[in-house]
Amino acid sequence: MLFVGLVSLVLLGRVIPAPTTGTTDPVWEPTTGPDLTSTSAPSDNICDEVLFGTGPLNANYGQDIAHRLHSMTVEDIKYYFGVSVTLDNGIPTVNTNLTANAQRVLPDAPVAGYDGAFLTQAMKQLDKVLSNMDDPDWAIVNYSLVEKIAHSFHMSELWARSKSHYDMLAMEPLPEEVCECLTSSQSDVIPALELLALKIKFPGLTSGQDTPPAAPPAASRKGDIGKAYKLYIETDKKGPAGSPRVARSADQIAPGYDIYAAHLPKTPDEYSLSIDVEWNKEYRRHLRNFDFTGTDEDVIRKAREELVDGDEGLEEHLDSEAGWDIWREGFKNMDDFGNYQFAAYMHCKLR
């Protein structure tokens, strides 16, 4: 628990009284969320150097953070990070409303509305999924009910694993320049989140194949388990499509960041994913400059031409024990450094 929680929480320039034992969270007070289109931020070249040139992260920080951000809610932030945030909290997420032309990325984590009658997070999350089981336009295209439940629990696992890194950063805060770049509108986080939102809604969109992305009308999609977003993307030995992994190890940590070395893999081999640094660099730059505005039809057309990364989506649906073997190994093999990068982002946003 952050020490500020004992007295008050300072969020986005606003002081919000911390709840005392036995009371409910404070009434939500509006603050200013991030401007997702703003260009007033440090340059990408400067921030690349600050974040992973001489800093503690690596070039995959955008996708790692986006993966862990995309379904976070106000209640999840409170439960896993001990901070009560306002409705205008500045923690961006992917919209679970998948209807045509709905805003794909939200500037603020929404309220989940978990049923308080349930005590455990597991039951609250299960209730949330089952309460939307008849809506084909909720959460993730072409995921079965079992897959949506597995996804919900998987995200909880990632958030729980991020907490130890978050607590460490509370004791040894990151330098201000790192946080400024990491939460800047010019960082990789929002573009990566926008791309993830597209892949969730239109799986296969960036595969480079001639077949259209999977997103038929809801009426025909209901009960149809076809092409879908690949949840455990970080296990791909070639690196997640579109962002080949760039290894970083404890013996490569930048001077002045020795305190964070314990949170890095011991050797590059333990990162185990291939390196294509130049391709990664160019794709990241292109993604930052991509225009995600417009109707679904407009963005689909542009993305199919400009964001090709070979990602064909989910390879195995969770409809058998053999399918679960693949999903389980995918979940278990996700590297912990992604959790550290997400914790760094939450540390910067919430401190």
* Average pLDDT estimate for 118-130: 97
pLDDT for 278 equals 65
Q: How confident is the model at residue 44 (pLDDT cuts 50, 70, 90)?
A: low
pLDDT for 229 equals 57
* Average pLDDT estimate for 111-124: 96
pLDDT for 250 equals 41
Write down the mean pLDDT value for the chain. 76
Q: What is the DSSP letter of 138?
A: B
Where are any strands of DSSP class E within the chain? 8-11, 14-17, 93-94, 105-106
Structure tokens at 16: 């919000």
- Measure the CA–CA gap between 35 and 285, rounded to whole angstroms: 20
Do 61 and 192 contact (CB within 8 A), yes or no?
no
Number of H helices, E strands in the chain: 13, 4
Q: How many CB atoms lie within 10 A of CB 226?
A: 15
What residues contact 215, with CB distance under 8 A and at least 6 apart? 141, 201, 202, 203, 221, 296
- Measure the CA–CA gap between 260 and 256, rounded to whole angstroms: 9
| Surface-to-core class of residue 195, CB atoms within 10 Å of its CB (0-12 exposed, 13-18 middle, 19+ buried) | buried
Q: Is 321 helix (H, G, I), strand (E, B) or coil?
A: helix
What residues contact 90, with CB distance under 8 A and at least 6 apart? 12, 31, 32, 33, 34, 107, 108, 349
Query: Does residue 91 register a pLDDT over 90?
Result: yes
pLDDT for 310 equals 84
Where are any strands of DSSP class E within 12-106? 14-17, 93-94, 105-106
Whole-number percent of the chain with pLDDT over 90: 50
